[in-house]
Structure 1
């Protein structure tokens, strides 16, 4: 077993997604994932605490990038303008591998209650990161929370549209477009 080859984390994610697709999340073991990725179980556990965490492997990176984009948005940016900057910044984490495995991840999440719960927690975490960054910019708490929730919804809508498209490297366009649609929809709420 090639224990020290580079790219173990990515190989583990790909192996897990393939196995979840082939045999389902519940029927897949950590040992099977490690074997398919060509690593040991201890290597698996150096990268992930459990198999559930494989599908949210980039959550910390996304949260950080969203917050950085919001923090670095122009001083005169509206709260949603700052969220758009965060979404644009986070798009740098959405590369070809994400595009390739997105439909399989979506299917695995849809088929597992445990993964749907974990996905919901991911949304809460992303919203919290954006809210914190907006509040640090001086945005009132309720406004920051609402803008953040719209940002998460835009991210999810963009991820779905992007994963179903051929545009493997243009996630930012989908994210900003989704946020613009939500901004327009919210204006009709009255």
Structure 2
């Protein structure tokens, strides 16, 4: 095994995803992942705390996709517009070339209840963070919490549609459609 080969993290992730798909998450070991990537276990642990982190690495970066557009908005921006900007910002992180990885990741997560719980916890943490940001901007309760919940729900539904077989629209387009449907529901 060569030391210091470039792209170690990406190779580990690709190897892990293939093994998770082929033999299941629980039956795959870190040693197998490292060997498939032609790296050592030590190198694996330099990049990931455990094999779950292959699927969940980057939680802070994930939240920033949603929070950065809110931080950048003018101070008097209404809650609905903040959520719209947040969803648009997150949508830009998911171009078409990420769709196959996202589909594979969702398939793997769907096979293990512990991974499903972790995914739900990630979304719950995002709701909490968005609610905090909205309250910091002076949006009162219950509006701040409702807007945060709505934003994450719209994202989750949009993401599920985006990874569906045969779907060709962008995540941003789907999110706009879902957000418009939510607005129509509320105004009806």
TM-score range, shorter chain: 0.7 to 0.9
2:159 counterpart residue number: 159
Preserved contact between residue 102 and residue 163 of structure 1 (Cα < 8 Å): yes
Task: Summarize the Cα distance change of 1:8–1:129 in structure 2 as closer, same or farther, 3 Å threshold.
Answer: farther
Q: Report deviation, 1:108.
A: 1.2
Q: Report deviation, 1:8.
A: 2.4
Preserved contact between residue 83 and residue 151 of structure 1 (Cα < 8 Å): yes
Give matches, 1:1-190, under 5 Å. 1-164=1-164, 165-167=167-169, 170-187=170-187
Task: Write the deviation string for residues 36-92 of structure 1: whole angstroms up to 9, x where unpaired.
Answer: 233221222122211112212232212012111112224443212101111211223
CA distance in 2, matches of 1:12, 1:159: 25
Preserved contact between residue 62 and residue 93 of structure 1 (Cα < 8 Å): no
Q: Report deviation, 1:123.
A: 0.7
Greater Cα shift, 136-145 or 3-12: 3-12
Task: Summarize the Cα distance change of 1:181–1:24 in structure 2 as closer, same or farther, 3 Å threshold.
Answer: same
Task: Summarize the Cα distance change of 1:180–1:6 in structure 2 as closer, same or farther, 3 Å threshold.
Answer: farther
**If the length of structure 2 is used for normalisation, what is the TM-score?**
0.87
> What secondary structure, in the 3-state scheme, does the structure 2 residue paired with 1:51 have?
coil
CA distance in 2, matches of 1:183, 1:115: 32
Across the aligned residues of Structure 1 and Structure 2, the Cα RMSD in angstroms comes to 2.0
Which structure 1 residue ranges, 5 or more long, are not aligned?
A: none
Task: Write the deviation string for residues 105-124 of structure 1: whole angstroms up to 9, x where unpaired.
Answer: 11211110110110111111
Number of residues paired by the alignment? 186
**If the length of structure 1 is used for normalisation, what is the TM-score?**
0.86
Which structure 2 residue ranges, 5 or more long, are not aligned?
A: none
